[in-house]
Structure 1
Amino acid sequence: MSLARSPAPTTVAEFLAWEERQELRWEYDGFAPVAMTGGTVAHDTIQSNLVIALGNRLRGTPCRVHGSNLKIEVAGRVRYPDVFVACTPFNPRETVRRDPVVVFEVLSSGTARTDRVEKMHEYWETPSIQRYVLIEQDAVSAMAFTRGEESWSGRVLWPGSVLALPEIGIELPLDELYEGLDPAALRDPPPPPE
């Protein structure tokens, strides 16, 4: 979620050096740093379920699942996707991966436009990314985009659907990502602030 912009670095290299000295997490949108904020219980539950499901299925393969504590460099920008998978050797001291294969974002009202428009373009401009998955947090639903020759090709997933991830050799039942959440409660409006 975006919170605020900060005047500071103007290149990826300057941003990475600057961010290392910050207490908060920041993304770089190609122009300026953008502070990251927290999310909802639903967002965190879906993200955690996804990391567990992917990690269990990828055990013993060259692919690794990473959560939102690790950043990726895409199209001259730096992002913290909710979850991503990379399949190349890595240095354990790295803070940036530059070759993700599959990227997942859990949509929220504050970031949906960025995820659907800006990041979709950035991820298209990153040839290693073969699949981009947008997961709804307000309903059991997702959109899975596969890289084609000239553009993304999308597929809608509903309750009972299976998310095929041939790029990394696994499949995930969509319902598994919502384990621990009541689908009816996802649709309810949020409680008013106290």
Structure 2
Amino acid sequence: MVLAQRQDLPCYRVSDYEQWQGDWELIDGIPYAMSPAPNIAHQLISANIHGQLFQRLAHCCHCKPLLPVDWKIDDETVVQPDNLVVCGKVSGQYLTKTPVIIFEILSKSTARKDQRLKFELYQQEGVSYYIMVNPESGIAKLFRRNRDGWLIKEGDFSHETYPFKLPQGCDFEFNFAAIWPES
């Protein structure tokens, strides 16, 4: 069996992405179908993350929490993180600046992409904090950008708090115990 090589695949652009039906992400010109509507646990966790970010950043006019939005990195890459924090002015159809915090909620259909492809992409784009939330294990793996530009694992969190350090004095404590749905 012969596998297709990267150079053999068609390369799509954002202008193509804008015409597609359904939910897609485009990474380095390769389309990735997004899973059907997130399950209830995913939605509850996402709502809890967003609610806490919204509350914790209420004092900060510089940084804002966002729900999934098209982050256009270049003409061949558009992704939709589950939850994110952006500092500075944002407007328009696409987010074009690098988020400081990204949360991705893992599912069986997205875990590989989130753990490998998006990890590398977010590291390359300068994301300060990347958190992969696993609803099945109840563990959130938190990675922080170091001085050399690498995302380094800070730890596994399920019921702990973590002190996020953001620009313009927008630091806050995030309580991981509050993101999990009640059993």
Amino-acid identity (%): 22
Unaligned runs of 5+ in 1: 1-7, 183-194
Contact 2:142–2:157 (CA under 8 A) maintained in structure 1? no
For the pair 1:94 / 2:65, whether they are aligned, the reply is no
Give how far 1:9 is off.
Answer: 7.7
- State the Cα distance separating 1:136 from its structure 2 match: 1.0
The corresponding residue for 1:29 is 27
TM-aligned CA deviation for residue 117 of structure 1: 0.9
Partner Cα separation in structure 2 for residue 26 and residue 35 of structure 1: 5
* Cα offset, 1:24, TM superposition: 1.8
* Aligned residue in 1 for 2:85: 85
Which whole-Å CA distance do the structure 1 matches of 2:23 and 2:96 have between them?
16
Aligned to 2:174: 172
2:182 counterpart residue number: 181
TM-score by length of 1: 0.78
TM-score (normalizing by structure 2)? 0.82
Q: CA deviation at 1:105?
A: 0.4
> SS where residue 137 of structure 2 aligns?
coil
One-letter amino acid matched to 1:145: F
Residue correspondence of structure 1 range 126-145 to structure 2 within 5 A: 126-127=125-126, 129-145=127-143
Q: Give 3-state SS (helix, strand or coil) of 2:90's partner.
A: coil
**Counterpart in the other structure of 2:46:** 47
Please give the secondary structure, in 1, of the residue aligned with 2:174.
strand
Assess if the C-alpha contact under 8 Å between 2:72 and 2:94 holds in 1. Answer: no
Matched-pair contact (CA < 8 Å) for 1:140–1:175: no
Residue 28 of structure 1 contacts residue 34 of structure 1 at CA under 8 Å; is this kept in 2? yes
Gaps of 5+ in 2: 1-8
Residue in 2 that maps onto 1:103:
102
The root-mean-square deviation of aligned C-alpha atoms, in Å, is 2.1
Q: What's the counterpart of residue 155 of structure 1?
A: 154
